Amino acid sequence: MFSKLAVRNVVRSFRDYGVYLLTLTFGVCLFYTFNSLDGQGAMIYLAKNGNPIVDAIMILMDVFSVVVAVVLACLILYANRFLLRRRKRELGTYLILGLSQGQVSRLLFLETGLIGLISLLAGLVLGVLASFGMSALTLSMFEMDLSGMLALNFSPRAAGKTVLYFGVIFLLVMALSGIQVSKSRLIDLIHGERKNEILKPRPLSVAVIQFVLGIVCLLAAYAILLFFGMALAVAVPFLCFPMLGLGTLGTLLIFRSLSGFVMKFVQSNPGVYFKNLNVFTLRQWISKVHTTYLAQTVVCILLLLAIGITASSLGLNSTLSSMTDGEAPFDITVQNQSGDTQTVNFDAALREGGFDPGERLAWSYDTMLYYNDTEVTGIDWDLGALSVIRVSDYNALMARQGRSACTDPLPVLLEEGDRQKQPPLITGNLALSYLIVPDEMVQQLEPRRQVWSADYAGEEKLETEEQLLAIVRPLNQQVAIRVETRLSIYGDMMGNKFLALFLGLYLGFTFLLAATAVLALQQLSQAADNTGRYAILRRLGAEERQVSRSATQQVALAFFLPLALALVHSVVGMKAANDIIFSVGKVDSAASSLITAGLILVVYGGYFLATSMACRRMAKNA
């Protein structure tokens, strides 16, 4: 009997469970997707090539999964408390009809278990699809064809971990729901929906003082962050804690001051205050601000974390991509570090190994570097990192990269530093300065090393590289060989890129989901409490569109005020974060900001639309 009743209650109350079930499903999907990274194509490729970043990514994912599970557990417990408050009268009716508190607790236990099972199954299905989409996204970042590694896979490890974590969370929710019902009195359950919040008006002077203090605290926090920088502020605790404390206190004071500040401001404009149902809308919204300003502060901070982490990870990814392109101008570079005593004919060595350079290579070039002699070149350079190169060799390497030839008077010194001023001459050369001299001058200099660079022909670059390395690496038995390839450098950089991207999106989506779910549940609970008031408005002559508009306006105020302040925080935080990212490479702030805005629009806007439609429906059915 209880099973049938639980099923009927879930089906009948699906509108009440809708946002709750949606949040649980998204949470399961998010948790599974990021814990199944080990089975995605990009991670399989990196693991196949022995990239150590794979183990680091999985370890960090396991650590952050615990953090995400705690956040989702708090969110689910918070949502369950709202749902129980919404159903107090229904639960009290069960007690009047003769059910014991233990039987009611058992009924809630079954309902929660059924909702948990539905959300787990739906979330795992969506997680498999989302994992496939993320795998396709990450594989598309590689500059080679890895489509053969793209497949729709199910990860038993990730599924088992998801079921374990969420199973514990649901058991905790069931237990707390039963305890809450068993300790409730019948009179409290029957009249639970009639309890109103006490509206305590505050003097305008107090609200203005709180608002001004909030602004001052925020400006002080911004000043610390922008003046000292994010890295210094985080590294030095006596700067970090005051900054965070002032920012949180300022946000709290601003939301606390709104109840008195905004009401007095609107009342001073009768044309706005008495238009349509603005009186009712503002009164209902402000009555909740008194007791929910703490929640509004938490939501604002969660949105700040979601926006900041997501945008920073995307900005760091663009920086890593530009760094990769600058470090690998050619597919492969082989340095013969014994070139001062013995040179190697690489084309002949490849042919002897059964590799046809004319067919398998699109381009190759052999370069000799020389030691600097001040008496010959006239350039006084004490560091051993300076290499001398002939201008003809330099121009040939630049021509392959599509860059202009050297036209400056020779000799020309290219110091290590900005890649725009000093283009890379070989793949993997990260710490060399070059002296370009006339071709005839090198006859008076001593050879330093031999450098052979090449680009692969065709699309099968991975296969070409494996065959070429199988021939080149054994040459190390004769001379000192150092091999750098674009794929190896790109693989190392892609590992760092995936680490930043995965962690950023994982935490960003988690905080965004938590913030939007909290707001949605608050508004649904408030709309359910307002159904009697909407009925009174209709009896007083209010039109249907006015009632629906009032319900939507209350949701909009609750959703977009925390978002507006979070965006202000994010602009300042991203300025400090981009200063750090820019120090290691070029960052495309506009692109990362637009992508982040798109993600916020989809998730946050979707929850806003779903919540506003549900609240309008409740107002219509009142």
Taking residues 44-69, what's their average pLDDT?
A: 77
- What pLDDT shows up at residue 323? 62
What is the token pair recorded at 178? 């039963």
173 or 351: which leads in pLDDT? 351
473 or 71: which leads in pLDDT? 473
Q: Residue 370 pairs with which residues in a beta bridge?
A: 388, 447
Given a cut of 60, whether residue 191 has pLDDT beyond it is no
- What pLDDT shows up at residue 453? 92
- What pLDDT shows up at residue 452? 93
Q: How confident is the model at residue 196 (pLDDT cuts 50, 70, 90)?
A: very low
Distance, in Å, from the CA atom of 320 to the CA atom of 584, rounded to the nearest integer, reads 9
Q: What is the pLDDT of residues 511-531, one digit of tens each?
A: 888 888 878 877 877 777 777
Distance, in Å, from the CA atom of 360 to the CA atom of 469, rounded to the nearest integer, reads 13
The total of other beta-carbon atoms located within 10 Å of residue 125's CB is 15
User: Cα 120 vs. chain centroid, distance in angstroms?
Assistant: 23
Q: What is the pLDDT of residues 418-430, one digit of tens each?
A: 445 567 778 775 5
Taking residues 551-575, what's their average pLDDT?
A: 84
State the residue for tokens 């911004």. Answer: 222
- What pLDDT shows up at residue 365? 92
Given a cut of 90, whether residue 548 has pLDDT beyond it is no
Phi, psi of 392 (to 5 degrees): -65, -40
Taking residues 347-371, what's their average pLDDT?
A: 90
CA atoms 480, 484, 488, 492: torsion sign: positive
Given a cut of 50, whether residue 197 has pLDDT beyond it is no
- What pLDDT shows up at residue 316? 64
- What pLDDT shows up at residue 363? 92
71 or 313: which leads in pLDDT? 71
- What pLDDT shows up at residue 364? 92
Q: What percent of the chain has pLDDT over 70?
A: 74
What is the token pair recorded at 351? 């042919």
Opening angle at CA 400, ends 395 and 406, nearest 5: 20
Given a cut of 50, whether residue 226 has pLDDT beyond it is yes
Distance, in Å, from the CA atom of 347 to the CA atom of 450, rounded to the nearest integer, reads 14
Sheet of 332-336, strand order: 412-414, 433-437, 386-390, 361-370, 447-456, 332-336, 481-485
Among 278-282, 380-384, 546-550, the least confident range: 380-384
Opening angle at CA 522, ends 511 and 538, nearest 5: 145
H or E, element range at 413: strand 412-414
Phi, psi of 453 (to 5 degrees): -120, 150
- What pLDDT shows up at residue 454? 93
Taking residues 401-405, what's their average pLDDT?
A: 86
Taking residues 497-501, what's their average pLDDT?
A: 72
Q: Of the candidates 136, 85, 114, which has an alpha carbon nearest to the alpha carbon of residue 2?
A: 114
Distance, in Å, from the CA atom of 608 to the CA atom of 553, rounded to the nearest integer, reads 11
Q: How many residues does the chain have?
A: 622
Among 83-92, 345-354, 365-374, 557-566, the least confident range: 83-92
User: Do residues 534 and 619 lie in contact, with contact meaning Cβ atoms separated by under 8 Å?
Assistant: yes
- What pLDDT shows up at residue 593? 64
User: Cα 462 vs. chain centroid, distance in angstroms?
Assistant: 31
DSSP string of 385-433, one letter each residue: TEEEEEHHHHHHHHHHTT-PPP-SPSSEEE-SS-TTTS--SSTT--S-E
Number of Cα atoms under 13 Å in the Cβ half of residue 422: 17
